[in-house]
Structure 1
Amino acid sequence: MASLVESGNLPLILEMMLNTAAQESPALSATELHAASTVVDGSTVIELSEAHLDRIRRGGVTAVNHTVTTPYADTATALRQVNQCRRWIDAHADRALLALTVADIERAKAEGKEAVILGPQDTEMIGVDLDLLGTFYDLGVRILQLTYQRQNLLGAGCGENVDPGLTHKGRIFVEAMNDLGVLVDVSHCGERTGLDAMEVSATPVVVTHSFCDAMSPHIRAKSDAFLRRLGEQGGVIGITTLSGFLYYPEEPTRRPDLARFVEHVSHVVEVVGVDHVAVATDYDETLTEAMRAEQLKEKEFRNLLGDWKWEERRAIGMDDAAHFPNFTEALLAGGFSPADVTKVLGGNWLRVLGEAWKPASR
Structure 2
Amino acid sequence: MTDTPAEGAPLTPNELHAAATVIDGSTVIELGEDHLDRIRRGGVTAVNHTVTRPYADTVTALREINECRRFLDEHAGAATLALSVADIRKAKAEGKEAVILGPQDTEMIGVDLDLLGTFHDLGVRILQLTYQRQNLLGAGCGEKTDSGLTHQGRRFVRAMNDLGILVDVSHCGQQTGLDAMDASDKPVVVTHSFCDALSPHIRAKSDDFLRRLGEQRGVIGVTTLSAFLYHPGEPRRRPDLARFVEHVSRIVDIAGVDHVAIATDYDETLTEAMRAEQMKTKELKNLLGDWPWEQRRAVGMDDSSQFPNFTTALLDGGFTQKEVLKILGGNWMRVFGETWKPAP
Residues 133-155 of structure 1: CA deviation (Å, up to 9, x unaligned): 00100000000000000000000
Task: Please show how residues 1-362 of structure 1 align to structure 2 within 5 Å.
Answer: 9-11=2-4, 14-15=5-6, 19-21=7-9, 27-358=10-341
CA distance in 1, matches of 2:259, 2:29: 25
Gaps of 5+ in 1: 1-7, 22-26
CA distance in 2, matches of 1:95, 1:183: 25
Runs of 4+ in 1 over 3 A off after TM superposition: none
CA distance in 1, matches of 2:234, 2:209: 26
Number of aligned positions between the proteins: 343
CA distance in 2, matches of 1:220, 1:192: 13
After TM superposition, the score normalised by the length of structure 2 is 0.99
CA distance in 1, matches of 2:200, 2:54: 24
1:300 Cα deviation (Å)? 1.0
After TM superposition, the score normalised by the length of structure 1 is 0.94
1:272 Cα deviation (Å)? 1.0
The one-letter code sitting in structure 2 at the alignment partner of 1:185 is D
CA distance in 2, matches of 1:221, 1:148: 14
1:9 Cα deviation (Å)? 4.0
CA distance in 1, matches of 2:334, 2:190: 14
The one-letter code sitting in structure 2 at the alignment partner of 1:20 is G
CA distance in 2, matches of 1:9, 1:216: 35
SS in 1 for 2:300: coil
Q: Identity of aligned pairs, percent?
A: 77
CA distance in 2, matches of 1:20, 1:173: 45
1:358 Cα deviation (Å)? 3.1
In structure 2, the partner of 1:24 is none
SS in 1 for 2:47: strand
CA distance in 2, matches of 1:148, 1:35: 34
1:182 Cα deviation (Å)? 0.1
The one-letter code sitting in structure 2 at the alignment partner of 1:298 is T
1:87 Cα deviation (Å)? 0.3
CA distance in 1, matches of 2:98, 2:57: 26
Contact 1:71 1:122 in 2 (8 A): yes
1:34 Cα deviation (Å)? 0.1
CA distance in 2, matches of 1:112, 1:28: 20
SS in 2 for 1:308: coil
1:129 Cα deviation (Å)? 0.5
In structure 2, the partner of 1:5 is none
1:20 Cα deviation (Å)? 1.9
SS in 2 for 1:64: strand
